[in-house]
Amino acid sequence: MFKLEPRPQASKFWGIGSPLLALIITVIIGIAIFMLMGKDPVKGLLVFFWEPIKSGYALSELAVKATPLLLIALGLAVCFRSNVWNIGAEGQFVLGAVTAGGVALLADKTTGPWIIPLILIAGVLGGMLWAGIVALLRDRFNASEILVSLMLVYVAELVLSYMVYGPWKDPNGFNFPQSKNFEKVTQIPKLFDGTRMNVGLLIALFGVVGMWIFMFRTYGGFQLQVGGLAPAAAKYAGFSSRRALWTALLVSGGMAGLAGALEVAGPIGQLTPYVPAGYGFAAIIVAFVGRLNPIGIVFSAILMSMFYIGGELAQSRLGLPKSLTGVFQGLLLFTLLACDTLIAYRIKFSKSAGGK
Amino acid sequence: MESFALLIAATFNAGTVLAIAALGLLINEKSGIVNLGAEGMMLCAAIAGFAAVVHTGNDWVGFAAGMAAGAGMAALFGVLVIWLNTNQYATGLALSLFGAGFSAFVGVKYVQEKLPARPSYAIPGLADIPFIGPALFKQHPLAYIGIALALAIIWFLFKTRAGLVLRSVGESPESAHSLGYPVRRIRLLAVMFGGAMCGLSGAYLSIIYTPLWVEGMVSGKGWIALALTTFATWRPLRVLFGAYLFGGVTMMQFHLQSQGVDIPSQFLSMAPYLATIVVLALISRNPAWIRINMPASVGKPFYPGS
């Protein structure tokens, strides 16, 4: 049997080594899955790790998927660093998409491009509202933010469903549950012609820098982190845990809502029941794999969007279910958590130590 | 009157799904460990059970397969959390995310499958009583096993030595360890029991309740079951009644729709989720209620000798 021996200091090496080891283990399990399904594992790996980066257009699609993941994960990193367990970013994303979509639907032929900032602000406010409910119930009623934020995911999806089946249904849409296509003027400006990449990517990258400064260079960010790591110390120092709770949830809710707005006014261009694509849940994995660090999150967001694109390609090219994406995402988080043990502990193998 | 009896029967049926899972999670949490993977375990068990019935035609093989799937996943979670000291919340979440993906992946080829017609169940004699019979005595055997499970858990937790040891492990793992109890093995068993019950509940959902397989079909019932243990302040009978109450909330939407009430279906479907939030807020408002029966070390890691 083995025994874990606490390290005197957290290992810097394994801080970065652990996600890489987790990725390697996930890939090995992936190869096993491909072989079990009777597919060529080399083809399988190419679909996930080469196809998404092999051309300029493929890279632009990668960026399209990475943008919402990046935005949401940045907000979640603030939450998790403050020890606030917001796991309902998916709901905040969906509600942001609904409020942003509501503004976008107001546009008509005479509307100017000034509508775009309003759409984005509406998305941010929608996400903040949804996360604000969580903060309020945690703050005033001590209700678990884990359960409340998760329940609100289902509620947000039903709100979206009501809107697209009811008041916002396109009257000329052959009775499909979807809104009319947004006016062209609401379209988030694209970065290059011929791709779907838009200004959202720049906003996300700007968010990376902003979040890094906030977390590591401001007193507010410092207070949040102390509150997360050592609540007693934070209390002693007079840092308000209530303010930390509200800040963490409103920031992450706003970021998720912004991602929702960029998604509906960008690549999607209308409201449909298929707006929720699981980005809010995948972003939890992005945040952890990226070590809750803005720079790390850039890399993990790219990796996770490779999983998304790989899953779609595995469906069209290899005839595997698209849900393979979810399998790999879950596996990666699972193996990461196991590998993270190496950061705080050294493994000692011994013959006598029992498994008590 | 007739329709009211059917509503009670449907409530009983829906409540059973929640009750079995929540009672398992209760034992799980009494050992001091929270497993947020309930939703994922139920999903994997739902497809495992459904697939087993499709291939063997025997419901009980399906239930066993569901329990095995749940317990297996819980064991994986348990080893990570108990031996490798990973964060309980994050690991449970990983299990839920993985379970959602994996069940969808495996379940693709079962989406179109239909199970043979279920036999109708009835307790001879009792089922013929007017009103009470159709309301209470025409359920699948598992509905009664759910009640028996609650009673057995009460007896186990409060009347047996093993139950006392389990509670002490959840209250103070350090003291239990110093008394020589194998804290980690006990926790693993409790976690696996929780997984097996979530598995049974998931299999009941896909084999009896719906009965079909749809991606994501558990739709939050695992999370509601987790919330139920808190609502019920970790008391088995309250878990049982809470489960029926929420079963009733779920069924109310179908009842109201059949009565022609003019509310959009989406708002009716929100009811169980909103009710969970409201009840959670009301119960959590008073920390004393929660703290009396909450296992003192719940959610905190324990590593002997550290």
pLDDT higher than 50, residue B276: yes
B111 inside 8 A of chain A by CB: no
Contact B280 A147 (CB under 8 A): yes
The pLDDT value given to residue B135? 84
Q: Please give the ipTM for the structure prediction.
A: 0.92
Q: How confident is the model at residue B306 (pLDDT cuts 50, 70, 90)?
A: very low
Chain A residues touching B291 at Cβ < 8 A: none
Nearest to A337 among B90, B99, B104 (CB): B90
CA distance A313 to chain B (A): 15
CA angle, residues A259, A265, A271, in degrees to nearest 5: 95
Chain segment B138-172, per-residue pLDDT in tens:
889 999 999 999 999 999 999 999 999 999 999 99
Classified by CATH at the fold level, domain A40-319 comes out as: ABC transporter involved in vitamin B12 uptake, BtuC (1.10.3470)
Pairwise pLDDT comparison (B306 vs A11), residue with the higher score: A11
Chain segment A21-52, per-residue pLDDT in tens:
999 999 999 999 999 988 999 999 999 999 99
The pLDDT value given to residue B193? 98
pLDDT higher than 80, residue B2: no
The pLDDT value given to residue A238? 87
Domain chopping of chain A, boundaries: 40-319
The pLDDT value given to residue B19? 97
What DSSP state is assigned to residue A348? E
- Least-confidence region, from A166-170, A250-254, B57-61, B302-306: B302-306
Chain segment B100-122, per-residue pLDDT in tens:
999 999 999 898 888 877 777 88
Chain B residues touching A165 at Cβ < 8 A: 264, 266
**Average pLDDT, integer, range B81-100:** 93
CA distance A89 to chain B (A): 13
The pLDDT value given to residue B131? 86
Contact B98 A334 (CB under 8 A): yes
**Average pLDDT, integer, range B294-302:** 83
Q: How far apart are CA A310 and CA A314, in angstroms?
A: 6
The pLDDT value given to residue A353? 46
Domains and CATH numbers, chain B: 2-114+129-293 (1.10.3470.10)
The pLDDT value given to residue A355? 44
Q: How confident is the model at residue B1 (pLDDT cuts 50, 70, 90)?
A: low
**Average pLDDT, integer, range B178-190:** 94
Backbone angles phi, psi at A181, to 5 degrees: -65, 135
CA-nearest of A192, A167, A164, A175 to A264 is A164
B80 inside 8 A of chain A by CB: yes
Low-confidence spans in chain A with pLDDT less than 70: 1, 350-356
The pLDDT value given to residue B305? 61
